[in-house]
Structure 1
Amino acid sequence: MRIFKFGGASVKNASAVRNVVRVLQQEGTDSTLVVISAMGKMTNAFEVLIDAYYNRQNNLNEALTFIYDFHFNIIKDLFEIDSENVKNRVNELLGELNGFMIQNESRDYNYVYDQIVGYGELLSTTIVSFYLKSIGIENNWLDVREYLKTDSNYRDAKINWSSTEKIIKGNVDVQRLNITQGFIGRNNDTTTTLGREGSDYTAGIFAFCLNAHSVTIWKDVEGVLNADPRVFSKTELLKEISYSEAIEMAFYGASVIHPKTIQPLEKRNIPLYVRSFDHLDKKGTRVSKGVSLRPLISCYIVKKNQILISISVKDFSFMVENNISQVFEKLHKHRLKVNLVQNSALSFSVCVDDKFNNFDEFYQELKHIYNIKAYKGVTLYTIRHFDDDAIDLIRQKGKSLIRQINTKTAQLVIEEST
Structure 2
Amino acid sequence: MQVLKFGGTSVASAENIQKSLAIVAQAAVEAPVVMVVSALGGTTDALIGAGRAAAAGDASYSETLQLLLARHDEAARKLLANVSEETLASVYESVYDRFEELTELCKGIFALGELSNRTLDRLMSYGELLSSRLVAAAAQAQGMHVVWADARQLIRTNSRFGTAEVDMVTTQQQVASFKEKMPAEIWVVPGFIAADSNGATTTLGRGGSDYTAALLAAALDAEKLEIWTDVSGMMTADPRLVRSARPIARISYQEAMELSHFGAKVLYPPTIQPVMQRGIPLWIKNTFAPDDYGTLVEVAPPRAATVVQGISSIGNLTLLNLEGSGMVGIPGFSKRLFAALARERINVILITQSSSEHSICVGVNAQDTAPAQVAVDEEFATEIAAGRIEPLRPEKDLAIVALVGENMKDHPGISGKLFGALGQNGVNIRAIAQGASEKNISTVIRAQDVRKAINVLHEAFFEATKKQVNLFILGPGNVGSKLIEQLARQQPHLLEKLGLQVRVVAIANSRHCLVDENGLDLTAWPEELAQAPAQTLEEFTQLIIGRNLRNSIFVDVTANPAAAGIYADLLAKSVAIVACNKVAASSDYAHYAKLKSLSKEFNTSYLFETNVGAALPIIGTLNDLTRSGDVVRRMEAVLSGTLNFVFNNYDGSRPFAEVVRQAQAEGYTEPDPRLDLSGSDVARKILILAREAGQVMEMSDIEIETFLPPACLEGDVEAFYTQMAAHESHFKALYDAATAAGKRLKFVARYADGRAAVGLQQVAPGHDLYDLRGKDNVVLFYTDRYVDQPLVVKGAGAGAEVTASGVFADIIRAARL
Normalised to the residue count of structure 2, the TM-score between the two structures is 0.48
Superposed displacement of residue 89, structure 1: 0.5
User: Is 1:89 matched up with 2:110?
Assistant: no
Between 243-252 and 39-48, the greater mean CA deviation after superposition = 243-252
Cα deviation, 1:161-197, whole Å, max 9, x if unaligned, reads 2221111111124541110011110002210111111
Superposed displacement of residue 394, structure 1: 4.8
Superposed displacement of residue 68, structure 1: 2.0
Aligned ranges 1:176-255 → 2 under 5 Å: 176-187=185-196, 188-255=198-265
Superposed displacement of residue 108, structure 1: 6.5
Of the candidates 131, 138, 143, which is equivalent to residue 145 of structure 2?
138
SS in 2 for 1:371: coil
1:56 is matched with 57
Superposed displacement of residue 251, structure 1: 4.0
Structure with the largest fraction of helix: 2
Q: 1:59 to 1:327 in 2, by over 3 A?
A: farther
Q: 1:397 to 1:111 in 2, by over 3 A?
A: farther
Between 243-252 and 370-379, the greater mean CA deviation after superposition = 243-252
Code of the aligned partner of 1:410? I
2:724 is matched with none
Cα deviation, 1:217-276, whole Å, max 9, x if unaligned, reads 111111111211112222222221122332333344433222222222122221111111
Of the candidates 128, 152, 170, which is equivalent to residue 135 of structure 2?
128
Superposed displacement of residue 128, structure 1: 1.1
Query: Is residue 227–residue 283 contact of structure 2 (8 Å, CA) maintained in 1?
Result: yes
SS in 2 for 1:294: coil
Separation in 2, partners of 1:109, 1:234 = 44
User: Is 1:257 matched up with 2:267?
Assistant: yes
User: Is 1:305 matched up with 2:316?
Assistant: yes
Cα deviation, 1:294-323, whole Å, max 9, x if unaligned, reads 34442111111111222234xx42265433
Query: Is residue 240–residue 293 contact of structure 1 (8 Å, CA) maintained in 2?
Result: no
User: Is 1:24 matched up with 2:24?
Assistant: yes
Q: 1:283 to 1:72 in 2, by over 3 A?
A: same
Q: 1:300 to 1:174 in 2, by over 3 A?
A: farther
Code of the aligned partner of 1:349? C
Superposed displacement of residue 361, structure 1: 2.4
Query: Is residue 397–residue 414 contact of structure 1 (8 Å, CA) maintained in 2?
Result: no
Q: 1:141 to 1:170 in 2, by over 3 A?
A: same
Separation in 1, partners of 2:217, 2:207 = 17
1:404 is matched with 433
2:39 is matched with 38
User: Is 1:66 matched up with 2:95?
Assistant: no
Cα deviation, 1:89-111, whole Å, max 9, x if unaligned, reads 01111222233344577957221
Between 68-77 and 220-229, the greater mean CA deviation after superposition = 68-77
Separation in 1, partners of 2:192, 2:335 = 32
1:76 is matched with 77
Query: Is residue 229–residue 235 contact of structure 1 (8 Å, CA) maintained in 2?
Result: yes
1:383 is matched with 403
Code of the aligned partner of 1:23? I
Code of the aligned partner of 1:79? L
Cα deviation, 1:268-288, whole Å, max 9, x if unaligned, reads 221111111122222221112
Cα deviation, 1:383-411, whole Å, max 9, x if unaligned, reads 11463444545554743211334534211
Query: Is residue 239–residue 295 contact of structure 1 (8 Å, CA) maintained in 2?
Result: no
Select the structure of larger CA radius of gyration.
2
Query: Is residue 57–residue 113 contact of structure 2 (8 Å, CA) maintained in 1?
Result: no
Aligned ranges 1:325-364 → 2 under 5 Å: 325-344=335-354, 345-354=357-366, 357-364=367-374
Separation in 1, partners of 2:115, 2:336 = 26
Code of the aligned partner of 2:139? L
1:158 is matched with 165
Query: Is residue 318–residue 398 contact of structure 2 (8 Å, CA) maintained in 1?
Result: yes
- Paired residue total: 414
Code of the aligned partner of 2:21? V
Cα deviation, 1:88-141, whole Å, max 9, x if unaligned, reads 101111222233344577957221211111111111111111122223223111
Cα deviation, 1:6-30, whole Å, max 9, x if unaligned, reads 0101111122112112212333365
Code of the aligned partner of 2:433? Q
Superposed displacement of residue 358, structure 1: 3.8
2:392 is matched with 372
Between 396-405 and 142-151, the greater mean CA deviation after superposition = 396-405
Separation in 1, partners of 2:427, 2:56 = 38
Query: Is residue 238–residue 294 contact of structure 1 (8 Å, CA) maintained in 2?
Result: no
Between 286-295 and 111-120, the greater mean CA deviation after superposition = 286-295
Code of the aligned partner of 2:291? D
Query: Is residue 62–residue 103 contact of structure 2 (8 Å, CA) maintained in 1?
Result: no
User: Is 1:294 matched up with 2:304?
Assistant: yes
Code of the aligned partner of 1:333? R
Code of the aligned partner of 1:327? L
Q: 1:337 to 1:134 in 2, by over 3 A?
A: same
Cα deviation, 1:146-168, whole Å, max 9, x if unaligned, reads 11111111122111222211111
Between 19-28 and 118-127, the greater mean CA deviation after superposition = 19-28
Q: Report the aligned-residue RMSD.
A: 2.4
Superposed displacement of residue 145, structure 1: 0.3
Superposed displacement of residue 367, structure 1: 3.7
Q: 1:50 to 1:261 in 2, by over 3 A?
A: same
**Any runs of at least 4 consecutive aligned residues in structure 1 with deviations exceeding 6 A, and if so which?**
none
In the alignment, structure 2 segments of 5+ residues that lack a partner are 382-389, 409-413, 450-545, 547-817
SS in 2 for 1:56: coil
Query: Is residue 310–residue 348 contact of structure 1 (8 Å, CA) maintained in 2?
Result: yes
SS in 1 for 2:392: strand
Code of the aligned partner of 1:381? V
SS in 1 for 2:270: coil
Cα deviation, 1:52-101, whole Å, max 9, x if unaligned, reads 23333343223322322222232233332543222210111122223334
Q: 1:397 to 1:198 in 2, by over 3 A?
A: farther
Code of the aligned partner of 1:307? T
SS in 2 for 1:130: helix
Query: Is residue 37–residue 189 contact of structure 2 (8 Å, CA) maintained in 1?
Result: yes
Between 396-405 and 152-161, the greater mean CA deviation after superposition = 396-405
Separation in 1, partners of 2:24, 2:294 = 17
Code of the aligned partner of 1:379? A
In the alignment, structure 1 segments of 5+ residues that lack a partner are none
Code of the aligned partner of 1:377? D
Separation in 1, partners of 2:127, 2:400 = 31
Separation in 1, partners of 2:55, 2:426 = 39
Higher relative contact order, chain-length normalized (CA < 8 Å, sep 6+): 1
Code of the aligned partner of 1:152? S
Code of the aligned partner of 1:305? N
Q: 1:301 to 1:321 in 2, by over 3 A?
A: farther
Code of the aligned partner of 1:142? A
Separation in 1, partners of 2:40, 2:375 = 40
